[in-house]
Amino acid sequence: MKYKHTILIADRNPHVRTFLKREMSAEGYQIQLANTGHEVLKRAFGHDPLHLIIIDPDLPDADDLDVLKRLEDRVPALPIIIHGFVSEYNESPAVSGAAVFVEKGGKSIERLKVVAAEMLQKTDPRYPGSLEDKRPPQGEGLHGTG
C-alpha cells in the first residue's frame, strides 16, 4: 500500500510544473501546483496538509530568498527541495539551511525522486522503506535475551 503524501510543486514555467506533476504523480504522490510566491505561501500555511515542497524560488511575484525564509519559519517545519540552477543560489544562506538543493538539468527528475523519497522517509515513519518497516514486531527478533 502506498501512502499518499502531498507535494507542492512551484515553478514559474508551466511546462516544468506539468512535467514534474506527471513524474511525481507516477510515483504515487498527490500533487498541488503553484506558479507564484503568493500561492506557495498560501498553500504552505493553509489548512490542507503538505508533506514536501519542490520549488524553484525564481517566482514572478516575490523575492526568491524571502519566500524561502518565510517557509523556513513554518511550524511544523516542512521539507523543501530547491530545484534551480546552481549559479543562482550557490552562495545563498537560505539555501544552506534546511532545504536540499537539486540542480535543474536533463536528468534532474531522477534525483528529485530519490531526494523526495529520502526526505519523506526521515519525516514520516509510516513511509514505505523506512526504518519502522524494517523493525521486527515486538517480542520477535530478541531471541535469547530475556
Query: By the 8 A CB rule, do 57 and 68 touch?
Result: yes
Distance CA 20, CA 130 (A): 24
Fill in the amino acid letter for 64.
D
pLDDT for position 139:
40
State pLDDT tens for residues 68-117: 888 988 888 899 999 988 765 555 555 556 688 899 988 899 999 999 99
pLDDT for position 120:
94
More confident residue, 69 or 18: 18
Q: Does residue 143 carry a pLDDT above 60?
A: no
Residue that is written with C-alpha cell 530547491 in the block: 82
What dihedral do alpha carbons 75, 62, 34, 9 form, nearest 10°?
-60
Q: Does residue 66 carry a pLDDT above 80?
A: yes
Residue that is written with C-alpha cell 504515487 in the block: 28
Angle of CA points 81, 82, 86, to nearest 5°: 140
- Domains of the chain, by residue range, sit at 78-126
C-alpha cell, 28: 504515487
State pLDDT tens for residues 29-59: 999 999 999 999 999 999 999 999 999 988 9
C-alpha cell, 39: 500561492
